[in-house]
Amino acid sequence: MGETIVEVKQLNKTYPDGTVALKNINIKAYKGEFIVIIGPSGAGKSTFLRSINRLSEPTGGEILFMGKDIVKAGKRDLRKIRRNIGMIFQGFNLVKRLPTVRNVLHGKLGYMSSVKGAFGLFDQKDVEEALDILKRVGLEDQAFKRADELSGGQQQRVAIARAINQTPQLILADEPIASLDPNSSRVVMDYLQKACREEGFTTFVNLHQVDFAKEYADRIIGIKDGEVFFDGTASQLTDETIEALYSKEKTKKQEAVV
């Protein structure tokens, strides 16, 4: 096991209306791990990912990222932490009117002075890097097209490029292939996995396709009713566990050793 990148301790999230989304989550992730999170919809997968970079505020617990507690970080520190965490969304979330390359460059905003970034004054080095990354996701021909002229799979690759451009320690991908067809899903997952292998990013991916999870994951975490239900390798994930994970009934948690 390499260096610990994220350590989630006793993470809790309760919405103002009393709904409990996350209950005492404890997860440790190491450098370069490709972790897929599965579980029924509404189980709290998305809330968990969004809590890590505080797009959704946790109500209790600690998230240690490279030794710093994200939950307690002030505005300024949060910005610094966030630039080290790339995020990929189900809906791609690109600025549709802007060219692809500009969207990739947005990954650098966290490293720029507020004014320079606001006016999009990117250095030659930044631009060349962005173009290089676009090449790596096979989209150099689309560099100057408007983002919304690209297909869904291509847009998601641009979003991956944007995340890579942050040179992050951690990538969070929230249902990255849920709105894509099977073929583009595979391409996107390949690129995501490749990038993480090459750069040594630790990655959390939420998926609802168990087969994809088994195929790509170094480690699988099952979340049910806001709690960690399973944590182990793909081979440890038996059909019974899967069935229990997705069944409506409350089942006793099945611990697997990492």
Partner 1 sequence: MMKNNRHMEKKKVQNTIFTVLAFAFFIFSMLQLDIVPERLMRSFERLTYIFGNMFPPKLNEPIDVFGAAIESIQVAILGTIIGILVSFFLAVFAAKNLTPFKPLSFAIKSFAGFVRAVPALIWALLFIVAVGLGPTPGVLALAINSIGMLVKVYAEALEEIDMGVVEALESAGASKVQVILQGVIPSMLSAFIAWSLFRLDVNIRYSAILGVVGAGGIGWELVKAAQMSRYDEALMVTIVIFLMVMSAEVISEFMKKRANAATAQALK
Partner 2 sequence: MKAASIQTDREGHKPPTKDLYSEYRKRKKILFKSQATVFGVITLLALWSLWGTGFNPLSIVTGTYDMFVFMFTDLFPPDFSAIGSLIGPALDTLYMSYVGMVISVLFSLVLGVLAADFLTPHPIIAAISKGITAFLRSVPAVVWAIILVAGIGLGPLTGTIAIGLSGIGILGKAYAEVLNSMDRDQIEGVRATGASWLQVMGQAVWPQFKAGFVSWSLYKLDMNIREAAILGLVGAGGLGYYLQSSISLFQYKTAAMAILMIFALILLVEFVTAKLRERIL
**Amino acid at residue number 234:** A
Nearer to partner 2, 90 or 193 (CB): 193
Piece of the chain touching partner 2 by CB under 8 A; list 65-73, 160-168, 192-200, 227-235: 192-200
User: Residue 136 binds which entry of partner 2, partner 1, none, with Cβ cut-offs from 5 to 8 Å by kind?
Assistant: partner 2
**Amino acid at residue number 102:** R
* Smallest separation, CB 169 to partner 1 (Å): 13
Alpha-carbon distance of 62 to 128, in angstroms, equals 38
Binding footprint of partner 2, residue count (CB under 8 A): 19
Taking CA atoms, 199 is separated from 34, 86, 169, 202, 216, in Å, by 12, 13, 9, 9, 16
Among 20, 55, 64, 143, binds partner 2 (CB under 8 A): 143
Among the listed residues 93, 66, 90, the one whose alpha carbon sits nearest the alpha carbon of residue 80: 66
Task: Give the x/- contact pattern for partner 1 in 113-152, rule: CB under 8 A.
Answer: -xx-xxxx-----------------------xxx------
Stretch (H or E) spanning 76: helix 75-82
User: Residue 184 binds which entry of partner 1, partner 2, none, with Cβ cut-offs from 5 to 8 Å by kind?
Assistant: none
Among 123, 144, 148, 182, binds partner 2 (CB under 8 A): 144
Beta-carbon contacts of 202 under 8 Å, excluding residues fewer than 6 positions away, are 5, 6, 29, 30, 31, 32, 33, 35, 169, 170, 171, 196
Piece of the chain touching partner 2 by CB under 8 A; list 61-69, 133-141, 172-180, 204-212: 133-141
Nearer to partner 2, 140 or 225 (CB): 140
Binding flag, residue 94, partner 1 (CB under 8 A): yes
Among 14, 84, 167, 193, binds partner 2 (CB under 8 A): 193
Burial 44-71 (b: 16+ CB within 10 A, else e): bbbbbbbbbbbebebbebebbbeeeebb
User: Residue 106 binds which entry of partner 2, partner 1, none, with Cβ cut-offs from 5 to 8 Å by kind?
Assistant: partner 1
Alpha-carbon distance of 97 to 231, in angstroms, equals 41
Beta-carbon contacts of 83 under 8 Å, excluding residues fewer than 6 positions away, are 109, 110, 111, 166, 168
Q: Is residue 39 left, alpha or beta, with left meaning phi > 0 and alpha meaning psi from -120 to 50?
A: left
Piece of the chain touching partner 2 by CB under 8 A; list 10-18, 20-28, 49-57, 187-195: 187-195
The answer to whether the beta carbons of residues 168 and 204 sit under 8 Å apart is no
Binding flag, residue 234, partner 2 (CB under 8 A): no
Binding flag, residue 74, partner 1 (CB under 8 A): no
Footprint on this chain of partner 2 (rule: CB under 8 A): 99, 101, 124, 127-128, 131-132, 135-136, 138, 140, 143-144, 187, 190-191, 193-194, 197
